[in-house]
Amino acid sequence: MSIILRCARQYSREFTILSFGFIPSKSGNYLRTMMTKDFIKDNETKDLPKRRWRKSDRDNSGSTGQKKRKIKAIKKLDGGFEDILLHDVIDLLKKIRTENDTNQSEIPENTNDAVQKDNIDLIDCSLPKIFTEIQLEVKEISSTGDGLAIDTEHKQQKQQRIYVVPFSTPGDIVKAKVIKHHDNQVDNNNYTTADLISVIKAGPLRDDTRIKCKYFATCSGCQFQMMDYQLQLNHKKKVIESAYRNFSHLPQEMVPVIGDTIGSPLQYGYRTKLTPHFDAPKGYISKADRMRGVKNHFKETPRIGFNAKGANYTMDIEDCPIGTDAVRMGMKRERRNVTENIERYTKGATILLRESTHRLPNNETNIATTIPDTIKTINPDHIDFKSCVTDNRSKTTEYVDQFVFTNIANEFFQNNNSILPKFTQYIRDNILRPLSASTRPRTNQIRHLVDAYSGSGLFTITLSSLFESSLGIDISTASINSAQENARLNNLSSSQAKFMAADASRLFKEITFDPDETAVLIDPSRKGCDDTFISQLLRFGPQRIVYVSCNVHTQARDVGKIINGLSTNSDPKNKESEGSSYILESIIGFDFFPQTSHVESVAILDKLSIEHVNN
C-alpha cells in the first residue's frame, strides 16, 4: 500500500490548496494527505496564495519549443545552501557515472550488444515538464536534508539527472512533482527540485510510525522525523565528512577521522526558543490613504506559525513537539492572545517564545509551591519552575550544570539545554589536551583563554577554572553586559573572566597574552570567519584553537584557510609571512537539533613546531 504524503511548496493549476490539504478541482482529481478530515475541515477557510508562474519556470519547463537555457558559469563554492547542495549532487553524479561506465564495460562487444550499448547512451534526455509527476528512486540524503533521487525509467542514462526531493530517504520509491530545473551545461552537473507527492515503496531507513508532528512533510522545520535517531546521527557524521572533503581544500591525510556525532538526550521537547510569526493583513491601501495614516486591519485571525517547506506563505501551526513543554504552553497562550486582540494589529509580527527557569531548593515548602503559567519539574537537589517569556527585552535564566546564565530574551543563547552539559564538558576535556608527538613539545603551560565570539559568556565562564585568566569578546554591548552579570552570578572575579565589547576582526590588537600560553575559542555565526579575522589569528598564533560552528561547511572552509594560509600557496612550509602553522587534531559533531538536518561541530587545532613545518 502506498504511503501518501504531500509537500505544500508548489502545486499545479489543477488544484487549489488549503492550509493542509488538497481540495479537488473541477477535474475531479484528489490527493490524500496525512492529515485528518477534521483537521482539513478546520483549515479549509484559510486562503492560501496560488502558485504563480515565474519566468525561470517557463524557460526551464522542458516543453517543446522551450527557450534555450542559458549556460551558467561555475561560481566559487563557499558554503551557502546552494553550494552545499551542488557539491552533493556532483558527488552523486560522479558515483552514478562510474557505476554506469562499469556496467557498460561488461556488455559483450558483438554487433547486437554494441548497438544496445550505444542505445544506452542515446536514451531520450528531454526534461519532464514543470508540474508533471514522475517516479523516482532516492539514492542518498543531501547535507541539506533533502533526498537525492534519479528517474527510475532512465537508470542507465549516461548523462543522469538528480532530483532533489524533500522528506525522502535512501531506497524510497516516490512519486514527485517537478518544480524547477537547475542546469549547468558547462559540466552537466544538473539537478531538478521536486515536491514529494507520495511514497510508493518505503526504503529500509523509513518508518513513518516515528512521526510525532501532524505538520511534518509540510512544515519546513524538521526533515528526519521518519528516521531512527541513530540513523540521523550517522547521517550527520557523513555531513561533516562531506563538508571537509568539499570545502576545506585539505588533502585527505590532513583531515583526522571524524568522531561519532554526540546525540541529544532529548530528541523531542528540547528547543528552548521558538519564533512563530504571522503575515500582514491583505488588502491594498493607496499612497494617498497611507499619507493620511490609514492602516490595513485584519478581518480574521491570520495563520500563526512557520513557513511551509519551500513556499512563500505561513502555515497555521497550533503546536510544535520539538519545543519544550514551557515553550509549547507559551505558544498556545500567545496564539490565543493574538486572536483575542487581533484588532490591535495592522501589520505582521514575529512572536518570541523563550524558556526561562526559576530554581528553588528541594524542600517540603517548595515542593508544595505552585507558580501560575509554569511547568514544575522536581529534581533530587532542586525544583525548577519553567515559564515562557515573550517580551524581547525581558531577562531569562538558564542553568548548565552548576552554572547559571541570564540573558536578554531576544539575544542568542544555545537553544537545546539538554545537550549543553555534554557539549561544554567535551570542550573542557579537550581544550588543554596534551600534544601529540608530531607537534611542538609544550614548553609553556596554557594559562590564558580568549573567547572570540563570547556572547553572554557560556564558554568563558564554563572554562574559566582551567585558566589563570579568561577574556571574552563580542561585538554586542548587550551580550557583554549579560556576560559580566553572569560572571558575577557565578562568583568569578574580573581576572578570572573579563569581558569587553569589540569587533572580533580587531580583537587581537587588544590582547597582551603570550600566544604560546593561550588557547583561542571561536564560535562565529553561520557565515563563519572573514579573512581579516583569520589573518590576525594566524599572526597572533595561539597554541591551540577550538572552532565551534553551527555551519560545518563554513567551518571546514575556515579551517582550511587556517592550515593552508590565506595565500594561494597551500604549502605550510611557505607560510612564514602569514604567521603560525597548525595541524587539525580532531573534529566531532553535536546534535543540537534532532529531527532536522543541522549539526554543530567542534574542530580542535594545534600549533606546529617550526621544525615540523620545515621538515
Give me 15's grid cell.
488544484
Q: Is 453 annotated as a binding residue?
A: yes
Check if the beta carbon of residue 593 is closer than 8 Å to that of residue 566.
no
User: What is the C-alpha to C-alpha distance for residues 157 and 96, in angstroms, rounded to an integer?
Assistant: 10
Among 487, 489, 443, CA closest to 469: 487
C-alpha 400/C-alpha 100 separation (Å) is 53
Query: Around Cβ 610, how many Cβ atoms within 10 Å?
Result: 12
Annotated active-site residue 320? The verdict is no
How far is residue 486's CA from residue 148's CA, in Å, rounded to a whole number? 46
Q: CA-CA distance, 432 to 68, in Å (whole number)?
A: 59
Dihedral through CA 177, CA 183, CA 189, CA 191, nearest 10? -10
252 is an annotated ligand-binding site residue: no
Whether residue 427 contacts residue 463, with contact meaning beta carbons closer than 8 Å, is answered with yes
Measured CA to CA in angstroms, residue 359 lies from 33, 377, 415, 457, 582 at distances of: 44, 10, 19, 20, 44
Q: Could you give the CA distance from residue 435 to residue 31 in angstroms, rounded to a whole number?
A: 61
Nearest of 197, 109, 117 to residue 156 by alpha carbon:
117
Grid cell locating 506: 580587531
Rounded CA separation 311/351 (Å): 20
Q: How far is CA 581 from CA 509, 525, 535, 537, in A?
A: 20, 24, 12, 11
Supply 177's cell numbers: 512533482
Angle between helices 531-540 and 552-564 (to 10 degrees): 50
Per DSSP bridges, beta strands 147-151 and 133-141 are: antiparallel
Phi, psi of 472 (to 5 degrees): -105, 135
Give residue 361's Cα distance to chain centre.
37
Residue 474 assigned ligand-binding role: yes
Q: With both helix axes pointing from N to C terminus, report the angle between 229-247 and 552-564 in degrees, rounded to the nearest 10.
A: 40
Strand partners, 404: 399
Question: Residues 219, 320, 388, 550: which is the catalytic one?
Answer: 550
Residue 157 assigned ligand-binding role: no
Strands 448-451 and 469-474: parallel
Cell (9 digits) for 77: 563554492
DSSP 68: P
Q: How far apart (Å, rounded) are the C-alpha atoms in residues 199 and 523?
A: 40
Contacts of 522 (CB under 8 A, 6+ apart): 452, 453, 504, 529, 537, 545, 546, 547, 548
Which residues are marked as active site?
550
* Bind-site residues: 414, 453, 474, 523
